[in-house]
Amino acid sequence: MRVAVLVSGTGTILEAMFAAQVPIGLVVADRPCRGLDLAKSQGVAALLVDRSDFGGFTTSFDRAAYSQALADSMADRSIDLVAMAGFGTILTEAFHVAYPGRILNTHPSLLPLFKGWHAVDDALRAGVTETGCTVHVATVALDEGPILAQQSVSVVEGDTAETLQERIKQVERTLYPATIMAVLDRLHHNLPVAGEN
């Protein structure tokens, strides 16, 4: 079983995956980032499919063409499962068709609460006493896929988005690799990713 990890940033989740011995066969980034360097330091293939070649972060970004290029670049690499790890690009159907039901993501809330990019801020604004981390199957519809695992994190008095985000990340660094390994075990036994029987 081989996992491709999609990254955009510092690679702290990727580090946790390496530490948990997730069988990573490829690390792909949408921009130059530390995650690529981390992959190389671990002897894992690193691939940059740069957004800047498709319009970057402007309104002219060609999301569909980027998603297809990403799928094409990974096509011959024998990837069984894709794990997004702080990947900053929303992908279109072309990528999801290439890996149907086999793309995982982690989100900093207890889905279905607080979907989208500002989940931690939204939780603080809502005044909830707990939020958390969700690992789910990624779908074209953002934060809508089947939930695989969740763990709650208490919101404490004086929390800022930064302090709460860091506590969520601490949970995420354990929950996400463990969930990936459980999914790989299901795939190895020809069982559905999301656990339906």
Tell me if residue 107 is catalytic.
yes
User: 4 is written with which tokens?
Assistant: 């491709």
Out of 107, 118, 188, 189, which one is annotated catalytic?
A: 107
User: 188 is written with which tokens?
Assistant: 């190895």
On whether the CB atoms of residues 77 and 26 are closer than 8 A, the answer is yes
Exposure string (b/e) for 183-192, b if CB count within 10 Å is 16 or more?
A: bbebeeeeee
| Half-sphere exposure in the Cβ direction for 125 (13 Å, CA) | 7
CA distances from 194 to 90, 93, 113, 169 (A): 21, 19, 19, 23
Give the distance, in angstroms, between the CA of residue 123 and the centroid of all CA atoms in the same chain.
20
User: 99 is written with which tokens?
Assistant: 């890996």
On whether the CB atoms of residues 58 and 38 are closer than 8 A, the answer is no
Q: Of the candidates 155, 152, 137, 149, which has an alpha carbon nearest to the alpha carbon of residue 178? A: 149
Q: Cα(82)–Cα(182) distance, rounded to whole angstroms? A: 14
Catalytic residues, by residue number, are: 107
